Amino acid sequence: MSSGPYREEMFFLFGLTTREHLQSTRSASCRYCGRFAPQQVIQRRTKISVFFIPLLTVNKTRLQVCTNCGGTSRINGAEERALVR
């Protein structure tokens, strides 16, 4: 009996993982409702992972979330630093 040609197969398990991290909460005026209420500064990162090990950040977003109305807006680094102070 002869066996067929040897075949190598590889299996990779990869995916994207998104995590949110609360940077700070500070009172400021909301862009949506206009009220002076606590605003949460959240940093959201999306990473590529292989075998459940995060390897590379592919997207980083900063968000300002109003605790009064729930309005969410993207902010840049300068706005984040001003709110975190």
Cβ–Cβ under 8 Å, residues 41 and 83: yes
pLDDT tens-place string over residues 38-84: 999 999 999 999 988 889 999 999 999 999 999 999 999 888 888 77
Q: Return the structure tokens found at 68.
A: 């009064």
pLDDT tens-place string over residues 3-29: 567 777 877 788 999 999 999 999 989
Phi, psi of 75 (to 5 degrees): -130, 160
Q: Among 48, 46, 41, 45, which residue's Cα sits nearest to residue 76?
A: 41
